[in-house]
């Protein structure tokens, strides 16, 4: 048996857009079951890093391994099937479908191929039941029949999480899952994520330091595409480079930076 | 327009079946009022509708704006025409050193024509589906025009002038299709089967993936769906059904020419689907009747009928977003727990 190594290994990831270096030889790991926060000021390269891990952006250089397996050359859908679940910084749902349809499709995507042409998928309990259970878990059961496009912003965020979870991912890539949410919704989302802690690893991009310190086992700080510091919350909080470059301006427990 | 409460799926199905019944009663009614010529016109409408329904699968459900769908109609038509030509001439068709005998038998020719159209759609689809948006529109148009010019240059099969057939295909050796009304019912039956089959298809796992990819391709990929594969399958299936429409069209006219593949024909198919209502399957049938009807009426009034038709289409696009179908029977109901879905 292999010793339990990191679930996700990012090694020397580099990506430039014209003159802007969005990822500069990034290296970090996410351990199984760990909540790993990726923080940094606007434009630090957090979303770019996530997009390369998910496979939407092709890195200029570097390697990405999931559970020891090189995934750098796989297309987005293959990585998703290997266990990467994703929520986007800008909400991304299927607007014309019902909320339940959205999650049922996520279940379906992980249930083998979809070349099934005859049976009504909306009456398929193997898809609908798990989807409904997932909606209950994130607190959307009451709006299951509504068109996803008609949801409030906070509800869409929860729906995205439900879709990501429906595929039983090993690693959740969450790009600011609380962005634009009201205080109450946001607190509920933190609760949901807290409940997930330990069952699924997360790479969490988040600006709200209260949330980060409440959830994260480890933190990686990015600035200008480079890793400024990585370690457990206490160590990062005390890191002089981090204080100088990022946390320092508003104090350690600053509100949305 | 004011929002209307959606009709229940049962009522909608009832209305659709009522429409089918009306179409089934059309030939005796036309004979009754002594206008049997209109059976031929109605047959042409049904064939146009069949091609439009196949386009609706990829356009309305798959979001693929193909501006070259007539190519597959044309391929199906030419398979029929060329095989009939060789049957008449008595010399086999030489294909890659293989001698294919000429044929007039529908039971062989029709599936074969659909298969050839499917292969054409598969090849064009593989190349076109790498692109999206406006590029997809242009590249499908370009492939269709390429095929058009290829057929124009094929002097062996009449080139520009096309081929005239010596009768319709036989069915199990009988000349069943020669009768005007029988042929009408064959077309109606095939159209009904295709619409019913597609209705099932769009609610299946396959259909939901296709619709999901139209709404948000990025999200579908992030869920783990190889989107292009499903689009290609739908594109190929639509090509096969368009090929069947071509077969019927050539049988109806007993004539085939490159006009069948011309870009204006592809445009007409788009107009029929948009006018009738994208993503409804039944809408394009309605659209075909209204478009051909308008043409018939307006052409009698003025030779500049296109000048009138243009603005009518613009009005439909502006004020009846769901097309005539949506205007007549309202939007489809949004999904509740287990009910029919939204689309
Ligand atoms: N597609 C692109 N083309 C050009 N430049 C880009 C592109 N995407 C990102 N960038 C640039 O790369 C840098 C990193 O952007 P990124 O979106 O990854 O930052 P971020 O850390 O997610 O910021 P935020 O906190 O605002 O979401 C920025 O300077 C941005 O302008
Ligand atoms: Mg970002």
- For residue B337, the model assigns a pLDDT of 38
- The distance of A63 to chain B (nearest Cα, Å) reads 20
Selected residue with higher pLDDT from B327 and A77: A77
Residue A199 sits in the same domain as residue A232: yes
Q: End of a domain among A168, A202, A236?
A: A168
Cα(A200)–Cα(A4) distance, rounded to whole angstroms?
Answer: 15
- Atom 25 of ligand 1, nearest CA residue: A42
- For residue B315, the model assigns a pLDDT of 82
Residue A164 sits in the same domain as residue A175: no
Residue A162 sits in the same domain as residue A212: no
Residue A2 sits in the same domain as residue A76: yes
Domain residue extents for chain B: 9-328
Residue A64 sits in the same domain as residue A5: yes
- For residue B3, the model assigns a pLDDT of 58
Q: How many residues does chain B have?
A: 343
Domain CATH number, residue A228: 3.40.50.300
What domain count does chain A have?
2
Mean pLDDT of the A172-200 span: 90
Q: End of a domain among A168, A193, A227?
A: A168
What range does the domain containing A145 cover?
Answer: 92-168
Interhelix angle B180-203/B9-32, rounded to 10 degrees, is 170
In chain B, residues with a C-beta closer than 8 Å to the C-beta of A161 are none
Residue A245 sits in the same domain as residue A121: no
- The distance of A110 to chain B (nearest Cα, Å) reads 7
Q: Are A219 and A232 in contact (CB under 8 A)?
A: yes
- For residue B333, the model assigns a pLDDT of 66
Answer whether A140 touches B (CB < 8 Å).
no
Selected residue with higher pLDDT from A180 and B74: B74
Cα(B177)–Cα(B43) distance, rounded to whole angstroms?
Answer: 12
Residue A74 sits in the same domain as residue A101: no
Q: What is the pLDDT of residues A16-39, one digit of tens each?
A: 999 999 999 999 999 999 999 999
Selected residue with higher pLDDT from A60 and A251: A60
What percent of the residues of chain A are helix, what percent strand, and what percent coil, each to the nearest 5?
40, 25, 35
Cα(B37)–Cα(B273) distance, rounded to whole angstroms?
Answer: 26
Residue A193 sits in the same domain as residue A248: yes
Residue A162 sits in the same domain as residue A177: no
Q: State which residues of chain B have pLDDT below 50.
A: 1-2, 336-343
Q: Where are the extended beta strands (E) located within A54-138?
A: 61-66, 69-70, 84-87
Label each residue of A33-98 as H, E or C: CCEEEEECCCCCCHHHHHHHHHCCCCCCEEEEEECCEECCCCCHHHHHHCCEEEECCCCCCCCCCE
Residue A36 sits in the same domain as residue A146: no
Residue A79 sits in the same domain as residue A175: yes
Whole-number Cα distances in Å, B280 to A136, B12, B199:
32, 11, 9
Q: How far is the CA of B221 from the centre of ligand 1 (A)?
A: 21
The pTM of the full predicted model, rounded to 2 decimals, is 0.92
CB A256 less than 6 A from any atom of ligand 1: no
Pick one of 3.30.70, 1.10.3470, 3.40.50, 1.10.10 as the CATH number of B9-328.
Answer: 1.10.3470
Please give the helix or strand (H or E) that residue A223 lies within, else none. strand A218-223
Q: How confident is the model at residue A252 (pLDDT cuts 50, 70, 90)?
A: very low
Q: How far is the CA of A23 from the centre of ligand 1 (A)?
A: 10
Answer whether A81 touches B (CB < 8 Å).
yes
| DSSP single-letter state for residue A38 | E
For residue A51, the ligand closest to its alpha carbon is: 1
Residue A245 sits in the same domain as residue A123: no
- Atom 11 of ligand 1, nearest CA residue: A22
CB A45 less than 6 A from any atom of ligand 1: yes
Pick from B222, B233, B341: CB nearest A80: B222
- For residue B314, the model assigns a pLDDT of 79
CB A17 less than 6 A from any atom of ligand 1: yes
The answer, yes or no, to whether residue A250 has pLDDT greater than 70, is no
Q: End of a domain among A151, A168, A185?
A: A168
């Amino acid at each position: 048996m292999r010793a339990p190594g990191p679930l996700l290994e990012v090694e020397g990831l580099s990506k430039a857009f014209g003159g802007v270096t969005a990822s500069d030889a990034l290296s970090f790991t996410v351990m199984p079951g760990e909540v790993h926060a990726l923080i940094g000021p606007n434009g630090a390269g957090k979303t770019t890093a996530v997009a390369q891990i998910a496979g939407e952006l092709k890195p200029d250089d570097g390697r990405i391994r999931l559970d020891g397996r090189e995934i750098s050359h796989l297309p987005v859908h293959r990585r998703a099937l290997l266990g990467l679940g994703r929520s986007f910084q800008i909400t991304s749902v299927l607007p014309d479908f019902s909320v339940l349809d959205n999650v049922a499709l996520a279940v379906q995507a992980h249930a083998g191929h979809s070349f099934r042409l005859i049976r009504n998928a909306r009456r398929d309990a193997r898809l609908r039941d798990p989807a409904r259970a997932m909606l209950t878990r994130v607190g959307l059961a009451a709006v299951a029949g509504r068109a996803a496009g008609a949801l409030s912003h906070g509800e869409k965020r929860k729906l995205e999480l439900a879709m990501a979870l429906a595929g039983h991912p090993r690693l959740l890539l969450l790009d600011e899952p609380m962005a634009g949410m009201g205080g109450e919704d946001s607190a509920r989302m933190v609760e949901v994520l807290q409940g997930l802690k330990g069952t699924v690893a997360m790479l969490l991009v988040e600006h709200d330091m209260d949330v980060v310190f409440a959830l994260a086992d480890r933190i990686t700080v990015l600035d200008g595409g480079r890793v400024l510091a990585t370690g457990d919350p206490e160590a990062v909080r005390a890191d002089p480079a981090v204080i100088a470059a990022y946390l320092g301006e508003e104090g350690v427990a600053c509100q949305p930076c | 327009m004011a929002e209307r409460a959606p009709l229940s799926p049962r009522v909608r199905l009832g209305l659709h079946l009522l429409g089918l019944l009306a179409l089934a009663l059309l030939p005796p009614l036309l004979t009754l009022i002594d206008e049997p010529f209109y059976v031929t016109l109605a047959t042409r409408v049904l064939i146009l509708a069949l091609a439009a329904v196949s386009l609706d699968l990829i356009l309305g459900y798959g979001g693929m704006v193909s501006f070259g769908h007539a190519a597959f109609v044309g391929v199906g038509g030419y398979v029929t025409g060329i095989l009939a030509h060789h049957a008449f001439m008595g010399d086999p068709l030489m294909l890659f050193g293989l001698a294919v005998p000429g044929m007039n038998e529908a039971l062989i020719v029709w599936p074969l024509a659909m298969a050839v159209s499917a292969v054409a759609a598969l090849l064009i689809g593989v190349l076109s589906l790498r692109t999206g948006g406006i590029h997809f529109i242009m590249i499908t148009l370009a492939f269709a025009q390429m095929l058009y010019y290829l057929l124009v240059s094929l002097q062996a099969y009449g080139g520009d002038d096309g081929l005239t057939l010596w009768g319709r295909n036989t069915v199990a050796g009988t000349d069943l299709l020669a009768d005007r009304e029988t042929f009408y019912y064959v077309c109606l039956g095939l159209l009904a089967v295709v619409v019913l089959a597609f209705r099932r298809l769009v609610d299946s796992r396959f259909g939901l993936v296709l619709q999901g990819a139209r709404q948000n391709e990025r999200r579908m990929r992030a869920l783990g769906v190889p989107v292009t594969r499903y689009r290609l399958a739908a594109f190929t299936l639509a090509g096969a059904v368009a090929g069947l429409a071509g077969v019927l069209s050539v049988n109806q006219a007993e004539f085939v020419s490159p006009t069948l593949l011309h870009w204006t024909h592809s445009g007409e198919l788009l107009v029929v689907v948009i006018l009738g209502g994208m993503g409804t399957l039944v809408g394009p049938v309605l659209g075909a009747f209204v478009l051909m009807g308008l043409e018939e009426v307006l052409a009698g009034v003025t030779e500049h009928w296109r000048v009138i038709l243009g603005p009518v289409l613009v009005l439909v696009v502006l004020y009846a977003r769901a097309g005539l179908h949506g205007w007549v029977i309202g939007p489809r109901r949004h999904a509740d727990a287990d009910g029919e879905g939204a689309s």
